[in-house]
Structure 1
Amino acid sequence: MRFLKVLLWLLLGGVIAGFVIYNGEQRVSIQLWGGLVADISLPLLLIVVFLAGFLPMLIAYQTLRWRMRQRFAGLERALADLRAIPATPAPRFEPVAEPVAIEEPRA
């Protein structure tokens, strides 16, 4: 599984490198506030926009994973505490030697 992960990252890096090499000289003008104009290369702009969308979701995902790990650790500690308590034996009932007959009143 680790091999596939590394292969995916290498392929993604290759695609990004190819895009940067092919489109590296293209410039894009961005209109900013107050009449300012930013002239930036297209690959850099796309990488920044990708990271602006990807990083918040990555942070949220890692936060969720951390919270779940903490919750599981707490549940495992509680389960270990419950397993450490010795089980109480079930109460033993002594059988009655002879059944007692209940007589009904005669009319």
Structure 2
Amino acid sequence: MLASRLVAWLALSGALAYSKGEREDRMNFLRTIMWVILAVVVAIFATANWHDVMLDLWGDLRMAIKLPVLLGITFAIGFLPTLFYYRAKVWRLRRQLALADRNAKMAPQTPPPPPVAAPKAKDPESPF
């Protein structure tokens, strides 16, 4: 009941009437809007929190850094190793898949073996 109403609503709203290319264009538009919203939020946060933060490094050495810059550096320290690991794993899996595809294409196509005939029944008179 609910599914049929949902399909009817989607058909009436025109969501099902778009071709695949038009849907991808709409998704690219939504993706762009989300990135713009995220950039605006980050810019507002950065301007609202543009304060100096003092870091005690070692000994009497202190460093003044802006809070949004510090947050960006800590985000990069956490995100970049994970990103590099993910990209290396995807690269390795693609290489393995390409190697397997290449080997499958180069492997000789042997016909299946002929069926094995069933063994004949032995004579009941034979001791063997």
Which TM class, normalised by the smaller chain length? 0.7 to 0.9
Unmatched tracts of structure 2, length 5 or more: 1-23
Residues 71 and 8 of structure 1, relative CA distance in 2, 3 Å threshold = farther
Distance 1:23 1:100 in 2: 93
List per-residue Cα deviations over 1:40-91 (Å, max 9, x = no partner): 1111111111111111111111101100100110111111123xx2333643
Distance 2:101 2:42 in 1: 43
Distance 1:80 1:93 in 2: 29
1:1-107 matches, within 5 Å, as 3=28, 4-24=30-50, 26-82=51-107, 85-88=108-111, 90-91=113-114, 102=123, 104=125
- State the Cα distance separating 1:38 from its structure 2 match: 0.7
The structure that has the greater radius of gyration is 1
Moved more, 55-64 or 7-16: 7-16
How many aligned residue pairs are there? 98
Q: Which runs of 4+ in 1 moved over 4 A?
A: none
- Aligned-residue identity in percent: 33
Partner SS state of residue 59, structure 2: helix
Q: TM-score, normalised by structure 2?
A: 0.63
Q: Name the Cα RMSD after superposition.
A: 2.7
Greater RCO (Cα-Cα under 8 Å, separation 6 or more): 1
Counterpart of 2:37, as a letter, is L
Unmatched tracts of structure 1, length 5 or more: none
